[in-house]
Structure 1
């Protein structure tokens, strides 16, 4: 199939079979990262993405513990699943891996990774998944904003605390900066990445 035809098919699939198109994009992204493992290194990454279709349908996908939280009428609603090893123990063991549970530490895949799904991590890949969970929600007049953030935010504040922290800030970039500073002030020791999307 010519590259133009492949691109046309991908666009068509996105509009007609959004969930499967997003899942395929995540798998293909993981494949590209693994191909570059010698250059990029052995590590990996979590991810959360959001796509707004026609200003009405929000499609959220994630692997790992990066999280999407939406604010509707001041209430926080989580739109993603944190992929914790303890929750996916059976599927990890089915792939030949194990989940450690050492007192004082979080559960880890093969005693190393604290998430059950991720991009990269070539040395653990046979025991990990890079297939995202995908959720669709309707955006309406009650939808105020969306937070997309890594676990450095969520380790130190609840979904509602994050929403309350920035609800009165009108500018999205200023809101994201405030949320990062709030997490740092709460002594977050994990990586912090954050995007805030405001809806009209």
Structure 2
């Protein structure tokens, strides 16, 4: 009797134990080495699946799904918010976006007193960028390298049968759409890529900076803005937006030889609006770590041809299999490589698959549903970094 009581107490008070990780109801996701996953969950318009695999010593990807109220108003609207934040140079910016962007969207909508809109989303991005700039300004004297930390930022908002997609950087949102005549499910890319590896983006940079012939440089066979960074838009990366932060004591490798007069990178998101149709099956949101190894159509085929549960984890595994294949090694051996060293084989990869139930999608945005908040997890590691460095998996449901 006593032993059974002790086992019960252990189960209640030791949530980080193997009992919790492997036998819980998957409320907060599960951990398997460097892989965190939540195989299935319910949002207001259907089901979802999430997975994150860590490659960097500190996880630079952050992600979240929020379902329920999209404002601080009791009258609504209600819907689902999806965010993928792919950091670079460190985890500080992606964590800042996780902490602030959705809240800016909620408060921005409340102050605007109108329906969800492109303008509300754009202002949320702007407020997040300005907030991070304030943080950099405050920390610059003690931690100047934070000026060279940034993040891509991909957001989806489903509200009242409408899908909003906003993006800075090179994460992608890809829709799986059923073609009734053939039964095929086609991949339709919904987000714009801001990566100078694309000729159209290089042309855009040249047109924005006609007086700078070196605005984009081919370095080690990779196109980079000023020879430093591949993305042309981001949150953060203040050292390429404000000249006062592109100087000593910032590391010399980030400092430009000549001062610049206008921002080199932009934080302005590309935003598109889509009226969801009954034949729209699901959307894959993922950081570029996935798309480096899988084509849009390959990813859609994997999701379409398997059960909903575990779809995000399945996509991550497919990407890792490709990464192992490229290095002529076995997948089982790749899985044994620890964080930090793993970055030489693949990037952090974050995937959220959002399924669309047409009966639920068509409901008015004033219809209340269960409130859900899930953060993509990773290895919980305490260490010295530029900012706070805990990355726990969190979930709050009411």
TM-score by length of 1: 0.85
Equivalence for 1:101: 218
Equivalence for 1:46: 152
Q: Which runs of 5+ in 1 are unaligned?
A: none
Residue range with higher mean Cα deviation, 144-153 or 20-29: 20-29
CA contact (8 A) 1:92 1:99 kept: no
From 155, 178, 187, the equivalent of 2:292 is: 155
Equivalence for 1:186: 322
1:29 aligns with 2:128: yes
Whole-Å separation in 2 of the counterparts to 1:35 and 1:146: 34
Residue range with higher mean Cα deviation, 163-172 or 148-157: 163-172
CA contact (8 A) 2:109 2:115 kept: no
User: What are the residue-to-residue correspondences of 1:42-191 with 2, within 5 Å?
Assistant: 42-54=148-160, 56-73=161-178, 74-85=185-196, 86-93=202-209, 98-102=215-219, 104-125=220-241, 126-171=263-308, 174-187=310-323, 189-191=346-348
Whole-Å separation in 2 of the counterparts to 1:93 and 1:30: 22
The DSSP-based 3-state class of the residue aligned with 1:145 is strand
1:195 aligns with 2:306: no
Q: CA deviation at 1:34?
A: 2.2
The DSSP-based 3-state class of the residue aligned with 1:60 is strand
The DSSP-based 3-state class of the residue aligned with 2:209 is helix
The DSSP-based 3-state class of the residue aligned with 2:228 is coil
TM-score by length of 2: 0.45
Whole-Å separation in 2 of the counterparts to 1:181 and 1:21: 36
Whole-Å separation in 1 of the counterparts to 2:348 and 2:113: 31
Q: Aligned pairs, how many?
A: 193
CA contact (8 A) 1:118 1:128 kept: yes
- Give the aligned CA root-mean-square deviation in angstroms: 2.6
Q: CA 1:94 to 1:17, structure 2 compared with 1: closer, same or farther past 3 Å? A: farther
CA contact (8 A) 1:92 1:98 kept: no
Whole-Å separation in 1 of the counterparts to 2:298 and 2:188: 12
Q: CA deviation at 1:189?
A: 2.1
Q: CA 1:132 to 1:95, structure 2 compared with 1: closer, same or farther past 3 Å? A: farther
Q: CA 1:121 to 1:130, structure 2 compared with 1: closer, same or farther past 3 Å? A: same
Q: Which runs of 5+ in 2 are unaligned?
A: 1-71, 73-105, 179-184, 197-201, 242-262, 324-344, 358-398
Whole-Å separation in 1 of the counterparts to 2:130 and 2:211: 18
Whole-Å separation in 2 of the counterparts to 1:192 and 1:8: 30
